Amino acid sequence: MKTLKTTLALIAATLLALGLLASPSSATIGVDDKSVSGSLNAWDNDAGAAFNPQPTSFETGQVARFQANFANVAAGRTVRLYRVGSSTAVATATANGSGNAYLNYTVVAGGQQLFAETSTDLETETEAYNGTEPAPATAVLNDPTDEFGKVWTAKFTPAASGQKTELQIRRICTYETDETDPETGPLPDDQDDCLGPWKTVETGTQNSSGNTTFNLPSKFEVEHTYRAISGSARSNEKVFAPQAENNDPYGIQTDLPEVHFNTYEGADVNTRDRYFEGEFSMIGGTNGACTTSVEPDSKSVMKGRGNYSWSFPKKSFTLKTDGKVNICGMGTGKKYALVANDYDKSLLRNSLAGYLGSELDGLGWTPKSTPVDFYMNGSYRGSYLLIERVAITPPSDLTGNKPYSPRIQIDELNSDSTTGEISGGYVLEWDYRKGADYNANLGSDSGWVGVKEPENDLDRSGENTGKGSTSAQRVWIREYLNEVDDSLRSGPDAWDKYIDRESAIDYYIAMEYMKPVDGNMWASVYMYKPRNGKLHFGPLWDFDLAAGSATRAGNVASTSSFYLRNNLGVSAQQDTTNGKTWFNRLNEFPSFRKAVADRWDEIQDDLNVTGHLATQKSLIDKSAEANFKRWSHSSRISEYQVIKSSWSADVSHLSSWASGRKSWLNGGSGF
């Protein structure tokens, strides 16, 4: 028995020495009870050894690696890392054959004492460390490596290989949408000088050195503020505007003036439902068409325009500048249109109509225009006609030395206009689509007239503010138009009380000459009503489908026959019971037809339509060449469209048509 006890004692002593048997005096696991039998060192993974000298602090959140070394601890023994004062392990590892265990610990803030312990209560010494706030990550955004701002580089410190990076621009405040900056809250109502929220325009990842190169697919034409971010790192901010590129489309020097519109965020204008805000500018031409240059006008706006024409591949646009500008001597104004002339393969029919209007002074005002090359966000869009939009110029704007464009010279109406003032200030359009804010129905014998001015006043969200036209104004103009309608059924002279004779005669001559499909009171037939004055016809507008460009609606492609004079019963007119328009009724009066014939005799010798077309062809020759590289000349929009073999042939066809039309109107069957 003594031998057995001795043997057991020797075995226990051996196991205890090997650390495989707990000491009968061991304390609670996870508590520093000074049973020290090992060391604790911070470990340098890159060097594969303990740090020398040993650090006394780590960054908060950093994963620090520690080596716990025990003498005579068997491989596979569990080792845990503890903070003094807590019995919960903060890291766990397994000892190797050398008695070492490597523990990964996420550092917490502030001072902390750490020790490692085996499951048999063998402990390392206790080491003190401090958790400090990490050094902030930093980033540097360099100037773009190209003059167009498409390639940017940024360096992030410390490097975080593979971490996502972003190139951002500071959005520019707009009037059209409510925006909120996540850093400063809702944007102010007065947004002249404010910046909107940041917007990511390109992403990447850091390489092992913390560098990223951003390649933008296209440049932002408008000056923006740029920055780079990755994780918590925010770079310096760079204000950058790209240099202008060579604007000879397809290598063709067109010599025409260039109109540029650059939206703030680089998005193309793609709807008629809202304005896009941006910068408008103009570079003067060199061939005599227009030499005007206009410095960038910020806060200008643009949206799509047209009804049927909005479905065409090449779009037309409405432009409104923030400040009044004098373009090509047209006079100072803010409202313009960029007309695409996509249906008209000659590109010259609207210009021809403008020439006719300028020779017919009874119209009062005909929109002035100039051919231009149009660029949106730096992209060439084709040969366009920049033309004054139909708009009111109050007489007060034409006093003194103000060079305002004398457009429709009538007083403006608004919601504050009193009962005595509502007899004038209206711009009207015959429109079977009823596309205006308010549309007056003149009954089944005449059709619909839309009130274009005054129009509804909308806030930035598109809601009606109630500051536009009033119900009293709408009732007044509807009743007045019905009185005019009745007068045209009451004998040859009754209409004189309501309609300005000179404007009716000149407008009819121009429309009958051009034979526009819409001209049969279908659409784009304008009138305006001055205060305490008679109803005026005009201005002339929209002649893509005119002068032989389309074969529909009573053979408008022919140089012979009348289109507006007779009741043709064609589809291109208001949906009425008897198909009679106001011009049908006026032409039932011999006195009106004689007045038209006399006026035609007075002006026709001075009309040099072929000379005008020859001049315009010379001006846009190179521009048309570039246009039909951008837009197919042979593509057909409708089965009625007239397309010749080339642009030059289209112009020749128009010139021949205009000459033939004049000859027919001079003949025995004409005026």
Q: Find, among 281, 350, 352, 269, the residue nearest to 315 by Cα.
A: 269
Pick out the chain residues at pLDDT < 70.
1-27, 174-195, 458-464
Burial 73-94 (b: 16+ CB within 10 A, else e): beeebebbbbbeeeeebbbebe
Q: How far apart are CA 437 and CA 466, in angstroms?
A: 12
Residue 612 in contact with residue 646, Cβ under 8 Å? no
- Residue 48 Rama label (left phi>0; alpha psi -120 to 50; beta): left
Tell me the residue length of the chain: 671
Closest to 183 (Cα-Cα) out of 201, 165, 175, 171: 171
**At a CB cut-off of 8 Å and minimum separation 6, what does 495 contact?**
484, 487, 488, 586
71 contacts 37 by C-beta, under 8 angstroms: yes
Cis peptide before 530 (omega within 30 of 0): no
DSSP 490-553: S-SSGGGGTB-HHHHHHHHHHHHHH--GGGTTTSSEEEEE-TTS-BEE------SS-TTSB--T
Specify whether the CB–CB gap between 293 and 282 falls below 8 A: yes
pTM of the model: 0.80
Bridge partners, residue 44, by sequence: 49
**Sign of dihedral through CA atoms 636, 637, 638, 644?**
negative
Residue 411: CB atoms within 10 A of its CB come to 16
Q: What is the dihedral of CA 571, 574, 577, 582, to 10 degrees?
A: -120
pLDDT tens column, 538-582: 999 999 999 999 998 877 899 999 999 988 878 888 877 777 899
What is the pLDDT at residue 621? Answer: 97
* Structural domains of the chain, ranges and CATH numbers in brackets: 35-132 (2.60.40.10), 138-240 (2.60.40), 249-409+608-671 (no CATH), 417-607 (no CATH)
**649: which DSSP letter?**
H
